[in-house]
Amino acid sequence: MKPLFLAIAILVCPCVGQSTSAQEKQEGSKAIDAKDFFEPREYAGGDQEVLKYRLLKPANFDSAKKYPLVIFLHGAGERGDDNVAQLKHCMSELCTPQRREKYACYVIAPQCPKEQKWVDVDWSAPKPTYPSGMSRSLTLTFEVVDAMLEDAAIDKNRIYISGLSMGGYGTWDALRQRPDFFAAAVPICGGGNTAAAADFCKVPIWCFHGDDDKAVNVEKSRDMVAALKAAGGTPRYTEYPGVGHDSWTETYANDDMYQWLFGQRK
């Protein structure tokens, strides 16, 4: 893997639709621009298709240590090739001094190209048909991650994944595709293949969704949680009353979520 470093600038937009406590926490990170912390990189697959991504490295890196890795999958509105838009929602929360000190980790934020998806399904279908294989963008993401496992100081027992909206679908599908790979997952306002729930029901999962979501019906998350429980899993589920599609702002401002996530190990 030969990453290319680019000089790119963006202003990170504040998130909306959050509770008073979340707003207070967000005040401390308003001045933080995630692009100042996430390095821009590119990866070319075997067919030379390029995946652009951003990488956050652990603060106060110690070569004698191994660090967790968080994979973040953005939503449909952040697709493109600017290698910036995927940082728009909530990535500044991972860059606060307090969190970087308490939860030193790698974070990879790939950008899905326009007209592609993290999982190739029809989101509008009540019961979409899921392909057996991974989408091209998710395949390239795993190629980058697998290369990182060879080169970087990553604790292979502490690999986490989270995503919102389209990225929530991608998170569920990543669990389906590689059920033994992750120590924990946080899918937000997405949906998944309930028929495959038994394959990853033992993975610690904390799912979030707003009950007034008009973009992705809350039943998508409810169905996945029910399928996991039926298969013997014990997922956590938080449903925000009166919240629409933006259930990620509250989630990424939640200190309890980080404490739970980074406390999981294979």
- Residue 138 Cα distances to 6, 65, 98, 154, 183, angstroms: 22, 28, 31, 20, 18
CA 133 to chain centroid: 19
Pairing relation of β-strands 67-73 and 106-111? parallel
Name the DSSP letter for residue 149. Answer: H
Interval 151-164: pLDDT, tens: 899 999 999 999 99
Residue type, 160: Y
Q: Give the Cβ contact number of residue 198 at 10 Å.
A: 15
The per-residue DSSP string of 153-190 comes to -EEEEEEEEEEETHHHHHHHHHHHH-TTT-SEEEEES-
Q: Give the Cβ contact number of residue 49 at 10 Å.
A: 14
Residue 210's Cβ-side half-sphere holds a number of Cα atoms within 13 Å equal to 20
pTM, entire model: 0.88
Cα gap 180→178, rounded to integer Å:
6
pLDDT of residue 123: 86
**Of residues 68 and 5, more confidently modeled:** 68
Name the DSSP letter for residue 127. Answer: S
Interval 175-212: pLDDT, tens: 999 999 999 999 999 999 999 999 999 999 999 999 99
pLDDT of residue 30: 56
Interval 40-92: pLDDT, tens: 999 998 778 899 999 999 999 999 999 999 999 999 999 999 999 999 998 99
Over 60: is that where the pLDDT of 244 sits? yes
Q: Are 141 and 42 in contact (CB under 8 A)?
A: no
Q: Beta-strand (E) ranges in the chain?
A: 39-44, 50-56, 67-73, 106-111, 154-164, 184-188, 206-210, 236-240
Cα gap 117→222, rounded to integer Å:
22
- C-alpha torsion 10→74→71→238, nearest 10: 120
Q: Are 171 and 186 in contact (CB under 8 A)?
A: yes
The region that residue 76 occupies, defined by phi over 0 for left and psi between -120 and 50 for alpha, beta otherwise, is alpha
